Structure 1
Amino acid sequence: MVCGQNHRGQLGLGHTSQITAFVPCPSLGPRSIRQVSCGWDFTLILTDCGQLLACGSNAHGQLGLPQVSGHTAKPLPIEALISPIISVAAGLRHSLAVDSSGCVYQWGVGLSSEARRLLAPQTPPAHLTSKEPCPVPALDTVSPNSVTAGASHCVCLTAGGDVFLWGSNKRGQLGGPGPFQSLPRVLDRILLAGESVTDVWSGWTHLVARTESGRVFTWGRGDYGQLGRALQTNQDLSLLSDDVPPAYSRPMACHPMEVKALTGATQVACGSEHSLAVVGGALVSWGWNEHGMCGDGSCEDVSSPAPIAALRQVTPVLIGCGAGHSMALCAVPLAGSAEAPPRASSSAAT
């Protein structure tokens, strides 16, 4: 089911008219869909059999379809991807995919202008400038498991729980030094209390990671509250780990730091500059709230995860965020039921 802005055919309906109510996407036929990832004005659709289709704008090569000039309103298979795909991600104007053989591909030139400016006089590597799927170097020996994309950065999570990051670091989203990283660089586990990562999510310029023990860390841009914690302009090493090397001691707000209010989160979803999470059976939100997407009835930014009062009596099942909106599929208790769904603990808002 699809709805919303469709000026580039990103809904895959075969036309470019805006749709204001959910409608089925007949062009997908009987296919079963495993994952959908949306960029600024394009969509990637992964089927259960591992086929990847794309529709919408191809102005930056983000569809991986060289035969498409401008845009396509019909989902088309990306024929350059031969092996079954297991994970996909759409950035603002670039795309990522992992295939069953463990190869990570990137396409779309959304990162190339920044790369050319910051890497000059060096020539940016092919995966940053290709309009067709191009293998990303340095990931072929680490067992990639999934990919995530921000506005202008890329994330790969391995089967062993390591996080690799590359692309723009303008807002500290790579968790380390340098304005731009052209090749994947592993995030030091020291910054994550020495733990492996089980899940990682990304907004436009902020990231959220959950570790093996259920701890949640955030880093990147935080001026709208999207990190869910106070910004540390002069981070004390003791806040990170006893073994943090001196290279990480300089004042930076971008280092991963734990958000204790999110410990044990079972789901997280990131919008452009806000996030949702399910913690203790309750739905919490934080970050940019100009359009009311934090669901607290106001348009004031939310600096730390807080339960959404309007949803206290329901159980969140599935959550999702867009650039300026949020959605939650919730289970409503049966009429007359004596049991209420789990409520947020007092720690969820601290």
Structure 2
Amino acid sequence: MRWFGFGFNAFGQICVHEKLIKGAGSDVAEEVKVSSPTELIRHVDRSGCCLKTSQIKASWSRRASLHLDGDSCVCLAGFGAVISTEPCGVSAVESHGCKDAFISESYLTLAFPERIESWDLQKRDNTPSWSMDLEAQSQSSGPLLNLPLVPGGYIATKPPLYRPLSPNLRAKSLALGGEHAILLCATGAVYTWGLGSHGQLGHGSLTSEDEPRAVEALWGMPMSRVATGGWHSVCISDGGDLYVWGWNESGQLGLPSRGLRKALQQQSSQQAGGLCQDATASPGEEPQEGEKHEEVFISIQAFPALLDVTPSCEIRTVSCGSRHTAAVTTAGDLYTWGWGEYGQLGHQTLLSSDEPQRVEFFREQQMRVVDVVCGTWNTFAAVIKEEVARS
């Protein structure tokens, strides 16, 4: 399995440029913005052997690569670790044997079979900022919960790092947004809490919630995956349908965005020398005679909406950046939409889009996408070589 990245690269999270290695300024646009999928350089262990990346976790300035083959460990790329093959603030010995990782802008959390540790990435301490012993867990309790979930609660992006959760929720997975959270229960129910100012909680209002509250619009439809960005949330049903809600300012919900359409129209008009006319009606303009439908723009979607990414296949997995979204279909295609000014949509442009578009690079290279992970302003995709049917 190979990993590719595209988008924000100011700290070398995707690829390390010569100027970054030499410590020169990173003011060159082509070094900050990677618009075409670029394969990640593999980390090597102390013996010089290449490590196979099993998972990617990303924050705004860093990327954590989790290597689970052989002697498992975590390596960081990005801020503070541009040319280092070892994790920033965590030595190879200290991450040796870890089974999962979770990274925020300030903390790296590592899950070991017997303990969980959170390290402050702003410091060079020899001890973790927080730790939890897992000796009390019996083997019958099942596998270790996926980070940021931990037994009895979850790891937050800022102190207090440990936050308790009611055992009645039967938590299966958890995603953390800018200031809100979305939880998937073992029953398939979805709960959200935190800031609700952009409709990101999916309760039909813009109010915040201090405690987990069920998303009633999804009640009775079991979900299999959840993800969240800065101010939007998404989930996948057991049937492979994708539901979206929250802020749509940059088209991150895949729904028509007035601001984005106007920006694209202005750009097209400038490129055409001002000869291109506005194709959409202005707010005060009456529909022309015979016009049946007026386009509806969505700024905030306060309750879940079904998004038809592609009619030909189901959605396998999904991930969210700050203001963009990426989804992998069961056919192995990657679709992206939303804010694209750093190339994080992978369409080899810096354009944004409020419509899901397939990343043609992987299809052209005969690659099948199997996983996707969004950083705040970038995207990482895991691929395998597409098997060509023999005639």
Give the TM-score taking structure 2 as reference length. Answer: 0.60
Q: Quote how far apart the aligned CAs of 1:17 are.
A: 7.1
Alignment deviations for residues 208-231 of structure 1 (CA, whole Å, 9 cap, x no partner)? 101122111011111111112236
Give the TM-score taking structure 1 as reference length. Answer: 0.66
Report if aligned partners of 2:12, 2:79 keep a CA contact under 8 Å in 1: no
Report if aligned partners of 1:173, 1:205 keep a CA contact under 8 Å in 2: yes
- Corresponding letter in the other structure for 2:377: G
Q: Quote how far apart the aligned CAs of 1:131 are.
A: 2.4
Q: What is the match of residue 257 of structure 1? A: 305
Q: What is the match of residue 133 of structure 1? A: 162
Quote the RMSD (CA, aligned, Å).
Answer: 3.7
Q: Quote how far apart the aligned CAs of 1:185 are.
A: 0.7
- Corresponding letter in the other structure for 2:102: S
Q: What is the match of residue 81 of structure 2? A: 19
CA distance in 2, matches of 1:325, 1:311: 17
Q: What is the match of residue 104 of structure 1? A: 153
Is 1:273 the counterpart of 2:323? The answer is yes
Report if aligned partners of 2:315, 2:328 keep a CA contact under 8 Å in 1: yes
Alignment deviations for residues 290-331 of structure 1 (CA, whole Å, 9 cap, x no partner)? 101101121111112111111112111332211111122222
Report if aligned partners of 2:198, 2:300 keep a CA contact under 8 Å in 1: no
Please give the residue correspondences for 1:1-350 in structure 2 after superposition, counting only pairs within 5 Å.
Answer: 4=13, 18-21=80-83, 23-25=85-87, 27-29=91-93, 31-47=96-112, 49=113, 51-57=115-121, 71-72=123-124, 76=128, 78-80=130-132, 82=134, 86-89=145-148, 97-99=149-151, 103-105=152-154, 107=156, 131=160, 133-136=162-165, 139-176=166-203, 177-188=205-216, 191-192=217-218, 194-230=220-256, 253-261=301-309, 264-279=314-329, 280-312=331-363, 313-333=366-386
- Could you say what secondary structure the match of 1:141 adopts? helix
Q: Quote how far apart the aligned CAs of 1:107 are.
A: 4.8
* Corresponding residue pairs, total: 272
CA distance in 1, matches of 2:206, 2:300: 12
Report if aligned partners of 1:201, 1:207 keep a CA contact under 8 Å in 2: yes
- Could you say what secondary structure the match of 2:318 adopts? strand
Report if aligned partners of 2:229, 2:324 keep a CA contact under 8 Å in 1: yes
CA distance in 1, matches of 2:105, 2:132: 22
CA distance in 2, matches of 1:275, 1:31: 32
Alignment deviations for residues 131-155 of structure 1 (CA, whole Å, 9 cap, x no partner)? 252424xx22221222210010112
Relative distance call for 1:22 and 1:162 in structure 2 (3 A) is farther
- Could you say what secondary structure the match of 1:33 adopts? coil
Gaps of 5+ in 2: 4-10, 14-19, 21-58, 65-73, 138-143, 259-298
CA distance in 2, matches of 1:252, 1:333: 38
Choose between structure 1 and 2 for higher RCO, CA contacts under 8 A separated by at least 6 residues: 2
Relative distance call for 1:75 and 1:54 in structure 2 (3 A) is farther
CA distance in 2, matches of 1:171, 1:143: 27
- Corresponding letter in the other structure for 2:240: G
- Corresponding letter in the other structure for 1:305: P
CA distance in 1, matches of 2:86, 2:160: 29
- Corresponding letter in the other structure for 2:176: A
CA distance in 2, matches of 1:300, 1:7: 20
Relative distance call for 1:261 and 1:74 in structure 2 (3 A) is farther
- Corresponding letter in the other structure for 2:214: V
CA distance in 2, matches of 1:74, 1:339: 56
Relative distance call for 1:185 and 1:231 in structure 2 (3 A) is farther
Report if aligned partners of 1:10, 1:56 keep a CA contact under 8 Å in 2: no
Q: Quote how far apart the aligned CAs of 1:261 are.
A: 1.5
- Corresponding letter in the other structure for 2:321: G
- Could you say what secondary structure the match of 2:99 adopts? strand
- Could you say what secondary structure the match of 1:311 adopts? helix
Which is greater in Rg? 2
CA distance in 2, matches of 1:284, 1:224: 16
Q: Quote how far apart the aligned CAs of 1:43 are.
A: 1.9
Report if aligned partners of 1:275, 1:286 keep a CA contact under 8 Å in 2: yes
Alignment deviations for residues 55-105 of structure 1 (CA, whole Å, 9 cap, x no partner)? 235xxxxxxxxxxxx63466727334555551323xxxxxxx331xxx224
CA distance in 1, matches of 2:63, 2:309: 36
CA distance in 1, matches of 2:105, 2:211: 24
Q: Identity of paired residues, percent? A: 21
Gaps of 5+ in 1: 58-69, 90-96, 111-129, 233-250, 341-350
Report if aligned partners of 1:10, 1:55 keep a CA contact under 8 Å in 2: no
- Could you say what secondary structure the match of 2:91 adopts? helix
Relative distance call for 1:306 and 1:73 in structure 2 (3 A) is farther
- Could you say what secondary structure the match of 2:361 adopts? helix
